[in-house]
Amino acid sequence: MRKTPYTKSLIESEFWLDTALEDMNRSQWEAICDGCAKCCLHKFMDDDDAGDVAEHEPMPTSQGVDGEEVFFTNIVCELLHTKHCECTQYDKRSELVPHCVTLTKENLKDIFYMPKSCSYRRMHEGRGLASWHPLLNKGKKSKMHENGISVRGQTVSENDVDMQKFEDYIVTWPLNDVE
């Protein structure tokens, strides 16, 4: 599990107010993540021309095609600690889960499927951090959990479902953007 990125000095610096995403150092970049874990939810693309999902290998959703629609499920990666909303193998996640997409300064603009509440997306779109973000709440995630922004208490592990029946797990709550 990763160590919380919300240090007192980062919080007190209020770097997010005057530092562009592309100019942030690693500590600042990591601290922008609100820890909601929505990126750990399985998402599926609906493309009328694609045919049956069962006929295709799962592919990373880092690239979109016109006409595709993204559906969020409440199915989470097996590496997610659902109470803390943190990856249990954060430093090795891309090795262990090859389709896990790591947000970077370089790919943020291309990862269209991130929910509107994603702090990286909010910052990229010029909307700033939401009032429930841990950086605005002394590094605590409680306000985010209270507002139902995180995945806490709303998911099922990929190990406990039949992925061929993913339609049964499609949800709309990840699309909520409280603020």
Q: How confident is the model at residue 61 (pLDDT cuts 50, 70, 90)?
A: very low
Residue 98 has pLDDT above 60, yes or no: yes
User: How large is the average pLDDT for residues 165-177?
Assistant: 91
**CA 14 vs CA 17, 19, 133, 138, 155: distances in Å:** 6, 9, 12, 11, 32
Quick one: pLDDT at residue 48? 56
Quick one: pLDDT at residue 67? 61
Closest-CA residue to 19 (of 101, 105, 113, 111):
105
Residue 127 has pLDDT above 70, yes or no: yes
Higher pLDDT, 6 or 39: 39
What span, in angstroms and rounded, lies between the C-alpha atoms of 47 and 57?
14
**CA 49 vs CA 46, 68, 69: distances in Å:** 9, 9, 12
User: How large is the average pLDDT for residues 23-42?
Assistant: 94
What span, in angstroms and rounded, lies between the C-alpha atoms of 17 and 128?
8
Residue 5 has pLDDT above 60, yes or no: yes
Quick one: pLDDT at residue 120? 94
Quick one: pLDDT at residue 49? 55
User: How large is the average pLDDT for residues 47-62?
Assistant: 48
Report the amino acid identity of residue 176.
Answer: N
Residue 1 has pLDDT above 70, yes or no: no
Residue with tokens 């601290």: 31
Residue 13 has pLDDT above 50, yes or no: yes
140 neighbors 134 (Cβ within 8 angstroms)? yes
- Looking at the chain, the whole-number percentage of residues with pLDDT higher than 70 is 86
Residue 114 has pLDDT above 70, yes or no: yes
The burial class, CB within 10 Å (0-12 / 13-18 / 19+), for 48 is exposed
